[in-house]
A and B are shown apart, each in its own frame.
Chain A
């Protein structure tokens, strides 16, 4: 299995001299099974450079998994070049949105409105299919088994577990570990805590035993209190997940758009010092645009 990061930035694309090492594109991860089947998780701006490399292997069947519908995870979709060339297929997978009452097709239709993009879907030459997934209902993509799990973010967010040929990877999408909304001792605290604990168990089960965990590490522990409820994790919470899952490698992603390369290095250095590696611990890495990891 091969993983390549095409976008690791959170919230908004952040090009410029200060982000040139880790990259400024928003979330997009390419996964290749050992059979070379193409799975793309999220369609942030990173999907545009990825799509250019696909022109060498047409006809392309791109299985795109959308974690959630926020801009930084879908914005590159209209610029997915194979869409404009006959013979290619885009299969877009994602969640049902209970507020709008629509399936994954809305992440495309919203962006292809005439005021925002010049080409209508009917004018796109590739075959485009929409597959709205239900939590914990696995689907098969070639040799890969893909299972979505409900995570915690301001919109419905799926974490995806992908397993093929005995290898596995889990990506959280944007995720903040849920917390009790009541104070200890308040009525409702105990009941709510049972739900939180159940949810935590579900998430552990989702990640259990994966080789590679890719997780939302937007904030440091010091930054987190001011960002509580925004739907993002910290380096600390993700390291905890990686340890509990028994993952071999943790890739920290969704880098803050205001965090320069130097600042990111410094923050990560501190994280490593705070979490000294013991035998059997996962290896901790920063996701970097362009990096490939094969296992």
Chain B
């Protein structure tokens, strides 16, 4: 990726608005001086844009943390609730992500896909021992963050890539590489790396199409959750192509994609919850 493009996309995120439901909820909750911290955290951590912006601040060089922070709850303890509340409020003040963008990218379906991937990744992580479920939730929530940035700031190119992917039933990241010269995994990883997010989160986003390059429990959970979300049609992130589990991931999760889906039990409540949040 050219330094110019990297700079442009990084700067663009500053002015990027959040999703309508969270903007609405943040404005509503913060009108009350006794706003419940718990309620606000539950709004922030379901919006990829607000989550990214809050974690970006807390991990910034101004605080030079010994260990990076991946959870909104942790950010609240670290910087104090009122600071997080006012950060959220300043993000909400930017406006709302429009339902219709020039790229023809459905932001609501994207959010639904991100939320369901997050929820499933967390559920999968609970079945493993050596991985923090909340870290997997955040990684799932942010794995496609690059797409929403493209849709906002390079709508024409993104639209073209969406069309190519749709017409060939091919993976969107390949179409993006063809049209833009880079894909959302590279851009997403570049952004969160710049904002000093933890290395395992950066790598999980970066290697979401090449999981064999990064054999970790987090990659396994997020990769599988992404495919499961697509297969079950829980929202739509613009990529119709479903990949099977690699042997190492199947090994970590104990089966093929269908066997893993069966092992998860009823996912309907998880999907319903995501739906409520993504609805305008």
Q: Which A residues contact B (CB, under 8 angstroms)?
A: 96, 98-99, 132, 134-137, 150, 152-157, 178, 181-182, 188, 191-192, 195-196, 198-199, 229, 231
A231 engages B82 (CB within 8 Å): yes
17 additional A-B residue pairs with CB within 8 Å, beyond A150-B78, A195-B71 = A96-B63, A98-B83, A99-B90, A135-B64, A136-B64, A154-B80, A155-B80, A156-B80, A178-B77, A181-B36, A181-B38, A181-B73, A188-B38, A188-B41, A188-B73, A195-B78, A199-B78
Contacts A99-B90, A153-B80, A231-B82; is A137 near B74 (CB within 8 Å)? Answer: no
Residues in chain B within 8 A of chain A (CB atoms): 34, 36-38, 41, 57-58, 60-64, 66, 71, 73-74, 76-83, 86-87, 90, 134
Contact B81 A195 (CB under 8 A): no
Describe B's contact surface by its main secondary structure. Answer: helix
- Tell me, in angstroms, the Cα distance from A210 to B134 when the chains sit together: 37
**Is B83 within 8 A of A155, CB to CB?**
yes
CB-CB nearest 9 A-B residue pairs = A154-B82, A96-B62, A181-B37, A195-B77, A98-B57, A99-B86, A134-B64, A195-B74, A181-B38
Complex interface: chain B residues within 8 A of A150 (CB): 63, 78-79
> Which residues of chain A are near B134, meaning CB under 8 Å?
191
* Max chain A C-beta neighbours (<10 A), residue from B36, B73, B86, B90: B73
The residues of A that contact B87 with a CB separation of less than 8 Å are 98-99
Instruction: Name the distance in Å between A186's Cβ and chain B's nearest Cβ.
Output: 8
B77 partner residues in chain A, CB cutoff 8 A: 178, 192, 195-196, 198-199
Are B62 and A155 in contact (CB-based, < 8 A)? no
Knowing A98-B57, A195-B73, A231-B82, say if A181 contacts B62 (CB, 8 Å). Answer: no
Chain A residues whose C-beta falls within 8 Å of the C-beta of B83 in the assembled complex: 98-99, 154-156
Q: Which of B71, B83, B86 has the most CB of A within 10 A?
A: B83
Rounded to whole angstroms, the CA-CA distance of A154 and B81 in the bound complex is 7
B71/A132 in contact, CB under 8 A: no
A192: contacting residue among B34, B64, B73, B82, CB under 8 A = B73
Residue in chain A with minimal CB distance to B64: A134
**Cβ 8 A contact of A191, one of B62, B66, B73:** B73
Contacting residues, chain B, for A96 (C-beta < 8 A): 62-63
B82 touches A155 (CB 8 A): yes
CB pair B80–A152 under 8 Å, yes or no, is yes
